[in-house]
């Protein structure tokens, strides 16, 4: 098996409208499908990559525990500034290792996410 990215991530939240506003307006994700009555929305991250948000009382919220996911960005410093400008709580300092850069932040419902930049030549496990 070879993993080439992620295709789906489910995130359960307590405040569904707040979570959608955050993912849409702060992170810039496009809402691909939404069912306000059920409290479920699918947001497009990249081609064939979906973040699905589950509001209170949905089966999906019960099934998804909040994993930490990193969203790939071109410039961590610039993305960090945008998060700060939007009032997002950053967690710790910006990290770097072996050409990677990242910054953790707290999203809706207290979930922890990260922004990450992968070096142009990718990842070398032997480095």
Comparison of pLDDT for 106 and 119, the residue scoring more:
106
Place of tokens 């849409």: 24
φ, ψ (nearest 5 deg) of residue 77: -60, -45
Half-sphere exposure of 2 (CA within 13 A, CB side): 1
pLDDT digits (tens, 9 = 90+) for 65-117: 566 788 888 899 999 999 999 999 999 999 887 788 889 899 988 888 888 88
Has residue 46 got a pLDDT over 60? yes
d(CA 8, CA 64): 12
Q: What's the whole-number mean pLDDT along residues 46-74?
A: 78
CB 105 within 8 A of CB 5: no
Q: Specify the pTM.
A: 0.69
**How far are the Cα atoms of 6, 52, 80 from residue 66, in angstroms, in the given order?**
15, 12, 21
Extract the runs of DSSP E, i.e. beta strands, from the chain. Answer: 8-12, 30-35, 40-46, 49-54, 70-72, 89-97, 100-106, 112-117
Helix H or strand E segment including 77: helix 76-85
């Amino acid at each position: 098996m070879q993993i080439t990215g992620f295709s789906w991530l489910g995130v359960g939240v307590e405040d569904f409208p707040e979570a959608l506003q955050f993912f849409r307006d702060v992170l810039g994700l496009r809402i691909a499908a939404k069912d306000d009555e059920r409290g479920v929305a699918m947001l497009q991250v990249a081609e064939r990559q979906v973040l699905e948000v589950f509001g209170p009382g949905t089966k999906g919220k019960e099934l998804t525990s909040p994993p930490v996911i990193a969203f790939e960005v071109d410039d961590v410093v610039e993305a960090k500034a945008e998060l700060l400008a939007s009032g997002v709580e950053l967690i710790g300092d910006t990290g770097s290792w072996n050409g990677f850069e990242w910054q953790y932040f707290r999203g809706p419902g207290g979930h922890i996410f990260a922004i990450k930049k992968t070096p142009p030549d990718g990842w070398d496990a032997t480095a």
